[in-house]
């Protein structure tokens, strides 16, 4: 099996590390410096290297690179190569932002795509471009709409510890989220049970207000719960504020019923507990004489 990854980031690395050693993995990064540090995959530069042969030889391809102002950069560079390619599976990592705002209501993969941000609009356009290759040229494309991603090194604990975590309160606001290891197992399940043309919501079972997640992290650390700040009074960047423009609960039934996925972390409480336990394990391994 030969996996080609466009964009070797947090999520795609989790998949690469979860796959058996029998897989040959090639992945792109933007700079020679990052390529020199890459572990777990053969590095290629994108943009820079000619990846036409890599596309032709890959049995599986994961698109983790997001769209830019000009559209999807991978298709802009290699659409013709994908038209000619014959992989067994292609995965495109999208976002639940394609659904827009539903004022806390539930969305499924059948919900119309009505994004309320420019980022969401760009994702809808990119999804459509990849699905056109499926419909018109038989490319076995699968869409994965990811909720808010967290995992090792990407969680609330550091901000709670250093006092920068904020509990911003907006009435009725809820987010869905997903642990990166659950994303990896969903992708592996899809590779094992391909269904070209399918879209999957990837999230846990428990959409929750963001302030609840921060409060729970503080409790796990036995630290004071950060003070609540009304949304209207919060000093936020335009990017940060845009995330609060949408509120929805994302349904994950399809990954369970069609792919047979049993979530490792079905809610943020189990996910945060696992992250904290892993931190403690790392500390103990570095300080084996610690008696506490």
Within a domain: 230: no
Q: What tens digit of pLDDT does each residue of 91-100 get?
A: 999 999 999 9
Containing 90, the helix (H) or strand (E) segment is strand 89-95
Q: What is the pLDDT of residue 286?
A: 53
Cα→Cα distances 250→38, 161, 198, 206, 228, Å: 34, 30, 17, 9, 25
CATH number, position 37? 3.40.50.720
- State yes or no: pLDDT of 235 exceeds 80: yes
Say which residue the tokens 């990954």 belong to.
255
- 220 φ/ψ sector (left φ>0, alpha ψ -120 to 50, else beta): alpha
Is residue 134 within 8 A of residue 141, CB to CB? The reply is: yes
Q: Which domain holds residue 77?
A: 2-151+178-204+249-264
Q: What tens digit of pLDDT does each residue of 257-290 get?
A: 999 999 999 999 999 999 999 886 544 445 455 4
Within a domain: 71: yes
Within a domain: 53: yes
User: Domains in the chain: how many in total?
Assistant: 1
Q: What average pLDDT is seen over the chain? A: 94
Within a domain: 50: yes
Say which residue the tokens 């590779």 belong to.
191
Within a domain: 214: no
Within a domain: 81: yes
Q: What is the pLDDT of residue 281?
A: 55
Is residue 135 within 8 A of residue 129, CB to CB? The reply is: no
The stretch 241-247 carries a mean pLDDT of: 89
Strand partners, 146: 95, 202
Within a domain: 34: yes
Lowest mean pLDDT among 66-70, 108-112, 280-284: 280-284
Residues 6+ apart with CB under 8 A from 272: 155, 156, 157, 213, 216, 217, 220
Within a domain: 223: no
């Amino acid at each position: 099996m030969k996996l080609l990854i466009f964009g070797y980031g947090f999520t795609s690395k989790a998949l690469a590390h979860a796959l058996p050693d029998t897989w040959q993995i090639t992945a792109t990064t933007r700079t020679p410096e990052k390529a020199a540090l890459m572990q777990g995959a053969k590095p290629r530069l994108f943009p820079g290297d000619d990846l036409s042969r890599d596309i032709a030889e890959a049995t599986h391809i994961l698109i983790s690179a997001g769209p830019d102002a000009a559209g999807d950069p991978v298709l802009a560079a290699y659409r013709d190569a994908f038209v000619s390619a014959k992989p067994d599976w292609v995965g495109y990592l999208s976002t639940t932002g394609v659904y827009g705002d539903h004022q806390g209501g539930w969305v499924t993969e059948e919900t119309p795509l009505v994004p309320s941000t420019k980022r969401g609009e760009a994702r809808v356009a990119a999804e459509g471009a990849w699905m056109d290759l499926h419909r018109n040229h038989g490319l076995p494309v699968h869409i994965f709409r990811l909720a808010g991603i967290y995992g090792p090194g990407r969680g609330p604990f550091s901000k709670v510890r250093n006092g920068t975590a904020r509990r911003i309160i907006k009435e009725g606001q809820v987010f869905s989220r997903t642990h990166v290891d659950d994303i990896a197992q969903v992708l592996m399940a899809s590779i094992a049970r391909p269904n070209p043309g399918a879209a999957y919501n990837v999230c846990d079972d428990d959409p929750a207000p963001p302030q609840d997640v921060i409060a729970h992290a503080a409790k796990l650390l036995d630290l004071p719960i950060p003070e609540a700040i009304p949304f209207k009074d919060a000093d936020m960047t335009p990017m940060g504020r845009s995330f609060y423009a949408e509120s929805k609960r994302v349904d994950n039934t399809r990954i369970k019923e069609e792919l047979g996925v049993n979530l490792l972390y079905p809610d943020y409480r189990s996910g945060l507990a696992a992250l904290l336990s892993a931190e403690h394990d790392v500390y103990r391994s570095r300080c084996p004489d610690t008696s506490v």
